[in-house]
């Protein structure tokens, strides 16, 4: 091992295992080593905040298996780093709401169309105005569907099947969603009344922060055969939707963090960071949280489904054609911020694990039975958004993902700057004008502050994040897209 193969950042030591793989050796009370998957360029950005410290802390969680992992887009989060993956034993380990995060199933979906960029050109401003007028966004209430608590209970229990029954989906939407848009372990009774009250007025809304709806065009195709299986080709128009479980998911997390403080204070005291709050596997609290989390996952899937179906109607009005004629079909919907029970090979033994993916994306290769039949032979679509001034990517689950990352990869570009700093460094209206005048990207938001917070300069280079994923074989590049217009809260 040469000096170039060792990085020391204060009391944290990283050793290069191979290209793009850095290991933090086990020491002290660490239960397992930690690994960072990054190029040297990305590692230099990752080390700037508390990501590495948080990753080391995560190795202390009971039942942590193999190693705690930071993806190439990793940055500091609440307790567990964003871009973090950790698998804990479902019998002898724990489940950690702090390692899932507040916005449960903050995920992305992509909808294909048969429109080309040439067909859309000239309609950008009308389209962005129509989308902004018809897709609720921003803080607080207001959604596509006016609902009561009984409706919320149905959504929590049934997932996207509820949307199908009520005319907001078609059968193919379920067939192309992770888990067919339904977590069977969902328990609406484990979700508090306060959480349901927060969710009932937000069903079918983007929210604020980094959530958005973006119309994009396919600019590059890297794997023609896989792109064909995904129904993607150069110059095609697609729609990407990024949002989560809104106030309901946030309240679920808050409720269970508080309960852990009261009911499992001994476990909490044993952890180096109380924000990693966890409940012991098999405890009543762990079972209740899992049921509540799965219910919030269902809520988020319905939320994105409602937005997608409303988007179809907006396109109908703008382009004067039925959405079926424009072939506005769901490519895939993938969840972030979850902890799912999955079976993985660990040292030659099949074990059931809680796989925590906080700001990370499932990336299963071909052959996994959990995949929809449409993708079982080719591998799972992975959608990685960039900033609103850069490209996004569609990948497919790589053949090395199960071994290296419990079937996971990055979920985006990853921030390099806080929202407060972004608002100090950028002026929203200026960013908006530069995107329009220099790149022909039309952006509309509730406020200039939101645009400043999400300026292209506050994110890592998504091309570099995806290069690392592709070269490691955890997520293979399929196509690259580029923004046309974007709405956000």
Q: Is 388 annotated as a binding residue?
A: yes
Q: Is 180 annotated as a binding residue?
A: no
The answer on pLDDT for 28 being more than 90 is yes
Range 255-263 contact pairs with CB under 8 angstroms and sequence separation of 24 or more: 255/192, 255/194, 255/195, 255/292, 256/97, 256/285, 256/288, 256/289, 256/292, 257/97, 257/98, 259/285, 260/97, 260/285
Q: What is the pTM of this model?
A: 0.96
The answer on pLDDT for 138 being more than 90 is no
Question: In b/e form, how buried is each residue of 241-259, taking b as 16+ CB within 10 angstroms?
Answer: bbbbbbbbbbbbbbbbbeb
Strand partners, 346: 349
Asked whether residue 304 is domain-assigned, the answer is yes
Catalytic: which of 250, 264, 356, 411?
411
List Cα–Cα distances, 248 to 22, 202, 358, in angstroms.
37, 9, 18
* CA gap 164, 450 in Å, rounded: 33
Q: Is 134 annotated as a binding residue?
A: no
Q: Is 210 annotated as a binding residue?
A: yes
CA atoms within 13 A on the CB side of 153: 7
Asked whether residue 17 is domain-assigned, the answer is no
Average pLDDT over the chain, rounded to whole? 95
Asked whether residue 323 is domain-assigned, the answer is yes
State phi, psi for 433 to the nearest 5 degrees.
Answer: -65, -40
Higher pLDDT, 219 or 451: 219
Q: Is 211 annotated as a binding residue?
A: yes
pLDDT computed for residue 415 by the predictor: 81
The share of the chain scoring above pLDDT 70, in percent, equals 100
| Nearest C-alpha neighbor of 440 from the set 448, 450, 432, 449 | 432
The answer on pLDDT for 419 being more than 90 is no
Q: Is 372 annotated as a binding residue?
A: no
Pick the range with the lowest mean pLDDT from 40-49, 64-73, 82-91, 444-453: 444-453
Asked whether residue 344 is domain-assigned, the answer is no
Residue 34 has what DSSP assignment? E
Asked whether residue 340 is domain-assigned, the answer is no
Count of structural domains within the chain:
1
Q: Is 72 annotated as a binding residue?
A: no
Residue 337 has what DSSP assignment? S
Pick the range with the lowest mean pLDDT from 38-42, 283-287, 435-439: 435-439
pLDDT computed for residue 142 by the predictor: 83
The answer on pLDDT for 146 being more than 90 is no
Q: Is 266 annotated as a binding residue?
A: no
Q: Is 392 annotated as a binding residue?
A: yes
Q: Is 103 annotated as a binding residue?
A: yes
Strand 34-37 versus strand 68-75 pairing type: parallel
Q: Is 209 annotated as a binding residue?
A: no
The answer on pLDDT for 140 being more than 80 is no
Q: Is 413 annotated as a binding residue?
A: yes
* CA gap 122, 170 in Å, rounded: 30
For residue 387, what pLDDT band results from cuts at 50, 70 and 90?
Answer: confident
CATH number of 122's domain? 3.90.1860.10
351-383: pLDDT as tens digits = 999 999 999 999 999 999 999 999 999 999 999
pLDDT computed for residue 100 by the predictor: 97
pLDDT computed for residue 54 by the predictor: 98
List Cα–Cα distances, 131 to 50, 93, 201, 207, 316, in angstroms.
38, 45, 19, 14, 11
Asked whether residue 306 is domain-assigned, the answer is yes
Domain coverage including residue 118: 106-183+198-246+299-333+364-486
Give mean pLDDT, residues 190-204. 96
Written as six digits, the tokens of 474 are 């955890």
β strands within 28-81, DSSP E = 34-37, 68-75
* 411 a catalytic residue: yes
Q: Is 386 annotated as a binding residue?
A: yes
Asked whether residue 9 is domain-assigned, the answer is no
Written as six digits, the tokens of 210 are 């980094």
* CA gap 72, 315 in Å, rounded: 35
Q: Is 284 annotated as a binding residue?
A: no
pLDDT computed for residue 389 by the predictor: 84
pLDDT computed for residue 226 by the predictor: 98
| Nearest C-alpha neighbor of 205 from the set 147, 283, 166 | 147
The answer on pLDDT for 141 being more than 80 is no
* CA gap 153, 354 in Å, rounded: 25
The answer on pLDDT for 57 being more than 90 is yes
pLDDT computed for residue 4 by the predictor: 83
Asked whether residue 33 is domain-assigned, the answer is no
pLDDT computed for residue 21 by the predictor: 98
Q: Is 379 annotated as a binding residue?
A: no
The answer on pLDDT for 210 being more than 90 is no
């Amino acid at each position: 091992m040469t000096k170039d193969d060792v990085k020391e950042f204060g009391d944290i030591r990283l050793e290069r295992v191979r290209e793009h793989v850095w290991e933090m050796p086990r020491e002290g009370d660490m239960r397992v080593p930690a690994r960072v998957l990054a190029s040297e360029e990305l590692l230099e950005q990752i080390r700037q905040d508390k990501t590495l410290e948080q990753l080391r802390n995560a190795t202390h969680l009971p039942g942590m298996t193999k190693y705690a992992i930071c993806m190439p887009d990793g940055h500091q989060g609440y307790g567990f780093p964003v871009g973090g993956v950790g698998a804990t034993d479902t019998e002898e380990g724990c489940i950690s709401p702090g390692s899932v995060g507040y916005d449960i199933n903050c995920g992305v979906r992509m909808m294909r169309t048969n429109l080309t960029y040439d067909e859309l050109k000239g309609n950008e401003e009308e389209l962005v105005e129509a989308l902004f007028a018809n897709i609720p966004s921003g803080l607080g209430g207001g959604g596509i569907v006016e609902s009561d608590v009984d409706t919320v209970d149905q959504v929590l229990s049934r997932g996207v099947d509820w949307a199908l029954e009520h005319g907001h989906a078609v059968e193919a939407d379920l067939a192309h969603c992770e888990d067919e848009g339904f977590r069977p372990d969902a328990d609406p009774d484990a979700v508090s009344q306060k959480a349901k009250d927060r969710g009932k007025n937000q069903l079918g809304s983007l929210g604020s922060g980094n959530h958005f709806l973006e119309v994009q065009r396919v600019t590059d195709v890297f794997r023609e055969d896989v792109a064909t299986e995904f129904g993607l080709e150069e110059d095609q128009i697609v729609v990407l939707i990024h949002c989560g479980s809104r106030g309901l998911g946030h309240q679920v997390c808050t409720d269970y963090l508080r309960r852990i403080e009261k009911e499992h204070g001994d476990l909490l005291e044993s952890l180096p960071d109380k924000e990693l709050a966890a409940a012991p596997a098999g405890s009543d609290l762990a079972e209740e949280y899992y049921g509540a989390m799965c219910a919030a996952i269902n809520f988020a899937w319905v939320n994105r489904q409602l937005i997608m179906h409303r988007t179809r109607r907006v396109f109908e009005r703008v382009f004067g054609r039925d959405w079926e004629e424009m072939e506005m079909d769901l490519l895939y919907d993938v969840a972030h911020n979850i902890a799912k029970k999955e079976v993985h090979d660990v040292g030659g033994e099949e074990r059931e694990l809680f796989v925590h993916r906080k700001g990370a994306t499932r990336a299963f290769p071909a052959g996994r039975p959990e995949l929809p039949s449409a993708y079982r032979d080719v591998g799972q679509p992975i959608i990685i958004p960039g900033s609103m001034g850069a490209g996004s990517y569609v990948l497919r689950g790589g053949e090395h993902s199960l071994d290296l990352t419990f079937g996971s990869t990055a979920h985006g570009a990853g921030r390099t700057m806080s929202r407060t700093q972004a608002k100090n460094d950028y002026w929203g209206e200026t960013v908006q004008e530069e995107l329009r005048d220099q790149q022909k990207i039309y952006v509309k938001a509730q406020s200039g502050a939101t645009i400043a917070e999400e300026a292209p300069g506050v994110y890592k280079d998504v091309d570099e994040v995806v290069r690392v994923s592709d070269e490691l074989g955890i997520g293979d590049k399929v196509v690259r897209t580029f923004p046309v217009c974007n709405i956000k809260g």
